């Protein structure tokens, strides 16, 4: 069983067991296939673009050696968690921004606040680990994630 802590992810931007750049095959070997929760890169390219365990989505590059390039935590449609557990603490989703800011401050996690143009002008908090917390129009926590550019994985 692999367990991750949301606070560690918010601070570092990495999962301790599966850091950014981990190859898809390594994750699949550890967690197993999650049928019905894997999406291909495209109709032609059947390699996985993402695979979901519990509420965590793992995103992979389209390169030959598919590498973990993004992690997103969603609060809708939870998948079979298999051997993976994310301890979200008090970040259970649909919390308003002020509650989340207090949670981050209480846990000594630095963050900045902005408006996200990518998410239809949604409120966005970005932690010291470069993890984005995105809030819906109704101000509820919608998703948490970090994505790297492919060139960042090459370094």
- Compute the distance between CA of residue 140 and CA of residue 75 in angstroms, rounded to an integer: 11
Task: Look at residues 74, 76, 132, 71 and name the one whose alpha carbon lies nearest to residue 104.
Answer: 132
* 126 CB-near residues (< 8 Å, 6+ apart): 111, 112, 114, 132, 133
Largest separation between any pair of C-alpha atoms in the chain: 47
Contacts of 127 (CB under 8 A, 6+ apart): 10, 11, 13, 104, 109, 110, 111, 133
Q: Report the pLDDT value the prediction gives residue 64, as an integer from 0 to 100.
A: 78
pLDDT score for 150: 67
Query: What gap in Å lies between CA 116 and CA 112, rounded to an integer?
Result: 12
DSSP lists the bridge partners of residue 122 as: 116
pLDDT, tens digit only, all 155 positions of the chain: 899 999 999 999 999 999 999 999 999 899 988 888 888 888 888 888 899 999 999 999 888 789 999 999 988 778 888 789 899 888 877 789 999 999 999 999 999 998 866 656 678 999 999 999 998 877 789 899 999 976 666 65
- Write the CA distances from 109 to 18, 102, 104, integer angstroms: 21, 10, 5
Res 154: pLDDT: 61
**Would you say the pTM of this structure is higher than 0.85?**
yes
Whole-number Å distance between alpha carbons of 15 and 64:
23
């Amino acid at each position: 069983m692999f367990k991750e802590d949301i606070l560690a992810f918010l601070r570092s931007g990495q999962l301790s067991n599966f850091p950014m750049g981990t190859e898809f095959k390594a994750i699949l070997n550890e967690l197993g296939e999650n049928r019905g929760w894997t999406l291909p890169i495209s109709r032609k390219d059947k390699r996985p673009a993402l695979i979901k365990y519990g509420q965590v989505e793992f995103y992979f590059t389209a390169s030959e050696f598919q590498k973990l390039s993004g992690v997103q935590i969603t609060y809708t449609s939870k998948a079979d968690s298999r051997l993976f557990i994310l301890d979200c603490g008090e970040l259970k989703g649909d919390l308003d921004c002020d509650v989340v800011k207090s949670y981050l401050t209480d846990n000594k996690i630095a963050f900045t606040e902005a408006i996200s143009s990518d998410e239809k002008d949604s409120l966005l908090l970005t932690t010291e680990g470069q993890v984005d917390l995105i809030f819906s129009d109704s101000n509820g926590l919608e998703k948490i994630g970090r994505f790297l550019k492919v060139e960042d994985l090459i370094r």
